[in-house]
Amino acid sequence: MKQLFKAVALTVAFVGAPVLAADTAEVGKPAPAFTLKDEAGKTHSLADYKGKVVVLEWANSECPFVKRHYEAKTMQTTQKGFDAKKVVWLTVDSTASHDAKFAADWKKKEGFTQPVLVDTDGKVGKSYAAKTTPHMYVIDGQGVVRYAGAIDDDPRGKGAKTNYVKTAVDAVLNGQQVPTATSEPYGCSVKYKS
Amino acid sequence: MTHPWRKRSGSRLGGLGAVAMVLLAAVAQAALPASAVGSTAPDEGDPRLEGALVLDATQVKAGGELRVGVRLTLDPDWHVYWKNPGDSGLATDVSWDAPGVTVGELRWPFPQTFRTPDGFITTHGYHDQVLLFAPARVSEAATGTLTVSAAVDALVCKVHCIPAQLVLSRTLPVGPETVADPEFAPQFDAAQAQVPLAPDAQGAPRVALALEGTTLTAGKAFTGTLTVTTADGKPYAGGVEGDFFVPGRILGVDQVALKPSGEGRFALEGKASSVAAKREPRLTGSLRLGTQATGFTAVDVDAPLAPMVADGAVAAAAPLKLPSVKDAAGKVAPAAVASAPAAAESPMGLGLALVFAFLGGALLNLMPCVFPVLALKAYGFTRMVQEEKGKVAPHAAAYAGGILVTMMLLAGAVLAVRAGGASVGWGFQFQEPLFVAAVSAILVAFALNLFGVYTLGADGTALAGKVDQSHGLLRSAGEGVLAVVLATPCSAPLLGTAVGFAFAAGAATVVAVFLALGLGLALPFCVLVLVPGLAKRLPKPGMWMERGKQFLGFALLATTVWLVWVMGGLAGVDGMGRLLAFLIAVGLGTWLYGQSQGLEGGRRGVTVGLAVLTLVGAGTVALRFDEAQASVETRGATVAAHGGSQAWDEAAVSAALAAGQPVFVDFTADWCLTCKFNERTVLSREDVRQAFMKHNVAFFVADWTRRDARITAKLAAHGRAGVPMYLVLSPGSPDKPEVLNELLTADSVIQAVQRADGCESPLKAGSMVCARP
């Protein structure tokens, strides 16, 4: 009886707390749905990639951390290491001052191939609680967030020991638990419209 | 090997052109050499950050201390980051290269909090100007000049961010005296005033956290109350302003915020990460008290939150034991207690604690620690009862008085140490080598007295036939003192609970419980006096008493052997040697004193002088114990005594539980006789070992021989103030450890281990709820 009362008390304690958190990205929970246009005007929805592992990369080509990773080819190399039939890489730019043309220019300059989704109003970025560039998410084939955080453990560019995204994607593909499911992302803040 | 900051000058950040280049500022202040000033992080060619390497001395002596710092000056609206940058950014990094100088940890003044206009991103850092500094010590061998270099790696942000790297360097002459720099020393002092105090610093406000739950649930919100009291124990009454709390990076927690909720009270709101942290998260950060008008005091906060459980498992794994929502609103318990399952038992009242203390004190008489004193006292009473009947009551009173006064001194010491910010436990004084040495010396001196080497208080005219004199009231009181001193490394049933209760409560309770404990300890002799006719039933005195007395002397020496062994654990073989040398000097000194008792006048004075000289001289030379010397071998003795055990570590315990192993934790100390007794007679028994093997128990030893704040805290979390304590944890319900009795029996251990393993198979679980995957 006492136990039952406590269980009720426990439930009451947590009701009204983060029910509203249902539509933000949390590891272990379904990823927020989105539909965005890329730099070429093509529409991408998370639902389109059901059954595939989706890597989301928040980026801002003006951020020194993003520049560093693109020059060191961290993002490109990580992406190339995956089987393109099983893994989709989407770059998202939530910078308020950027548009499709800006994204297209950047893509051309760096010569990479993945789509850059333009999220100028920042709605998708905020639904994922993306706060830094780069900020990385790995979503499994069932649409569940399996990793959120930094690309690697190297905020100062001294040489990474662990590429968290690569480790997470490999684990998901092998049906294993992601060893590090969250990490502190580092970099510039996302320059949201406000 | 390339210097870590030299290789940064190039390629990776080359996109920003000169960004990674170290530019020397043309606008260097006149006070500083050019190499001590630099600027970088150019924005459209304009440097946004200037840095200067500053020292608080213009000259320093070999072996002297100084402060070394980096003063960062930023353009308006630009900022650099604190050690926890917050949602984005990068902590400012300062690394030092200073041959001949040992540079300490970087001191961070209390930071500002920055928010994006929509409030979505929060960061912590500094704008305008900040002095990040570190204490430094110059080598004893330093001569000539010293070169201090600093490499600063910072991210400078306004809307956009620019990385900045500076390499700054200064030289400093070594001279006969340290000379403060009149310009920079005040800047260091001002920066120092902004640095949060360590939680245990002298005069620092005390911060206690009470969480409204025994666990954090992954992805869920949690709440609690932070209570702030001034250093002298009053609730903090001043205000706070602005962003007065900046959290550290807390693994397992996404957000925390504090809101003032009353005098010295702050409501804590937080949200646990969606992924359960492996270690128990701690609330870390800095709290700034005060207002612009009153001035600020910042203090670092570091308090345990609660173990994390995965969402869904919570209802089964942690059926909210302690704090119903109702309780939490009304009462604030210290976090350590609130999160402790042991505290979930019906809270003990003062009355019950006093009864426990009294009974525990009485039981102490039967423990091996106090027994030699008890025997000694029994002997003394035997002859007194026969020869000086009327004096029995005064002697019993003196003995009880000695016990009570010493108990009060002990209570005073506990309160004093606690007021100093450290936590102590029952028997804590045995963690102090000098105390162990003093007790050993007293025991040896006492033993020699029993051997007749000298007589006590006999005023020089004492002869062997006048040994009766040694039964002065003072001696009875002294025996009371000795009884308490020897009792502390022992624990008895009920004692742990009572003392634990006292240590967690106010000063009056500590005094009351210690008094009750003393009365319990004095009980046998009070009974002897109070029950008429009982004294007369003691055996008649005779020659056996003289032999018995000398025999007891050997019992005291045997106790000394144990203390020498304890010293080995505290200060190594070297410490044992020093203690033995000192004890021989004590023997020599007392022998000289004994000789003097047969002499007259000047010769007597000389002999007494020699005795004192021997003691003082030997004490000065020998009583220097280096605790770092404690031999690893001795430290590991307990661990080795139980094959396959390992040193206690919260993370290792969690790992073992996660792996499905039941866990047994033995909280022990070399000087704790009850612990040693349990280890030898119960824990090393074959059937107990078999049970541990059968149930695959992970055996941990928490050794409290020397001071260990983690262990003290863990003891307190279970309402205990000292060792022994035995915890049995089940992988099925890791949050509900079973605390075993102080005196173990093989059956109790085996059954507890069986219960802990009961969750292993769902078929065996019965009515128990097992939340293991």
User: Amino acid identity, residue B595?
Assistant: Q
Task: Compute how many other C-beta atoms are within 10 angstroms of the C-beta atom of residue B295.
Answer: 10
Q: Do B12 and A184 touch (CB under 8 A)?
A: no
| pLDDT value, residue B499 | 75
B664 token code pair: 């047994």
Q: CA B602, CA B608: separation in Å to the nearest integer?
A: 10
Which phi and psi (to 5°) does residue B377 adopt? -65, -40
User: How does residue B80 score in pLDDT terms, banded at 50, 70 and 90?
Assistant: very high
For residue B326, list chain A residues with Cβ-Cβ distance below 8 A. Answer: 9
User: How does residue B348 score in pLDDT terms, banded at 50, 70 and 90?
Assistant: low
| pLDDT value, residue B640 | 43
Average pLDDT on B120-133 reads 92
B76 token code pair: 């308006």
A&B contacts, CB < 8 Å: 123
For residue A151, list chain B residues with Cβ-Cβ distance below 8 A. Answer: none
The mean predicted confidence, pLDDT, of chain B is 76
Among the partner-chain residues A9, A29, A157, the one whose CB lies closest to the CB of B325 is: A9
Quick one: what percent of chain B has pLDDT higher than 70? 76
Is pLDDT above 90 for B246?
yes
Q: Do B88 and A191 touch (CB under 8 A)?
A: no
Give the bridge partners for B216, in sequence order: B308
Is pLDDT above 90 for B647?
no
| pLDDT value, residue B53 | 93
| pLDDT value, residue B630 | 54
Give the bridge partners for B54, in sequence order: B69
B559 to A26, B40, B371, B672: CA distances (angstroms)? 61, 69, 10, 13
Average pLDDT on B429-433 reads 76
Which phi and psi (to 5°) does residue B279 adopt? -95, 160
- The alpha carbon of residue B719 is apart from the nearest alpha carbon of chain A, in Å, by 23
Is pLDDT above 50 for B743?
yes
Q: CA B136, CA B145: separation in Å to the nearest integer?
A: 15
Is pLDDT above 50 for A15?
no
| pLDDT value, residue B722 | 78
For residue A149, list chain B residues with Cβ-Cβ distance below 8 A. Answer: none
pLDDT digits (tens, 9 = 90+) for B157-203: 988 888 888 889 999 999 999 999 998 999 999 999 999 998 888 88
pLDDT digits (tens, 9 = 90+) for B681-706: 888 888 888 888 888 888 888 888 87
Average pLDDT on A37-48 reads 93
DSSP string of B274-308? Answer: SS--SSPPEEEEEEEEEETTTEEEEEEEEEE---E
B704 token code pair: 């409290």
Interface test with B, best of A98, A131, A183, A194 (most B CBs within 10 A): A131
Burial (Cβ within 10 Å: 0-12, 13-18, ≥19) of residue B137: middle
Is pLDDT above 80 for B319?
no
| pLDDT value, residue B588 | 92
More confident position, A172 or B712: A172
Interface test with B, best of A152, A156, A164 (most B CBs within 10 A): A156
Max alpha carbon distance in chain A (Å)?
A: 68
Q: CA B72, CA A73: separation in Å to the nearest integer?
A: 32
Q: Are B557 and B443 in contact (CB under 8 A)?
A: yes
For residue B157, list chain A residues with Cβ-Cβ distance below 8 A. Answer: 188-189
Question: The pTM is what?
Answer: 0.50
Burial (Cβ within 10 Å: 0-12, 13-18, ≥19) of residue B583: buried
Identify the top-confidence range among A3-7, B136-140, B222-226, B730-734.
B136-140
Q: Do A181 and B8 touch (CB under 8 A)?
A: no
Nearest to B151 by CA among B256, B26, B240, B20: B20
Q: Do A184 and B249 touch (CB under 8 A)?
A: yes
* 3-state SS class at B97: strand
Q: Do A131 and B321 touch (CB under 8 A)?
A: no
| pLDDT value, residue B766 | 38
Average pLDDT on B607-633 reads 75
More confident position, B360 or B372: B360
Interface test with A, best of B49, B114, B215, B324 (most A CBs within 10 A): B324
- The alpha carbon of residue A83 is apart from the nearest alpha carbon of chain B, in Å, by 27
| pLDDT value, residue A98 | 93
* 3-state SS class at B538: coil
Q: CA B31, CA B187: separation in Å to the nearest integer?
A: 14
Give the bridge partners for B228, in sequence order: B207
Q: Which of A130-144, B140-154, B313-327, B729-743 has the lowest mean pLDDT?
A: B313-327
Among the partner-chain residues A27, A72, A126, the one whose CB lies closest to the CB of B275 is: A27
pLDDT digits (tens, 9 = 90+) for B368-422: 666 666 766 666 666 666 655 666 777 788 888 888 998 888 888 878 777 665 5
**B346 DSSP assignment:** P
ipTM: 0.78
Q: Which of A25-34, A96-105, B28-37 has the lowest mean pLDDT?
A: B28-37
B464 token code pair: 């062997």
Is pLDDT above 50 for B15?
no
Is pLDDT above 80 for A137?
yes
Q: CA B481, CA B475: separation in Å to the nearest integer?
A: 10
Q: CA B426, CA B723: separation in Å to the nearest integer?
A: 7
Q: What is the dihedral of CA B489, B493, B499, B502, to 10 degrees?
A: 180
Interface test with A, best of B222, B320, B325 (most A CBs within 10 A): B320
Find the residue in B nearest to A125 (Cα).
Answer: B120
Q: Which of A139-153, B142-156, B342-356 has the lowest mean pLDDT?
A: B342-356
Give the bridge partners for B290, in sequence order: B240, B296
Q: CA B698, CA B605: separation in Å to the nearest integer?
A: 63
Q: What is the dihedral of CA B56, B60, B65, B70, to 10 degrees?
A: 30
Q: CA B664, CA B700: separation in Å to the nearest integer?
A: 6
Q: Are B98 and B163 in contact (CB under 8 A)?
A: no
Q: CA B630, CA B294: separation in Å to the nearest integer?
A: 48
User: How does residue B757 score in pLDDT terms, banded at 50, 70 and 90?
Assistant: confident
**H or E segment and range at residue B593:** helix B543-596
User: How does residue B491 score in pLDDT terms, banded at 50, 70 and 90?
Assistant: low
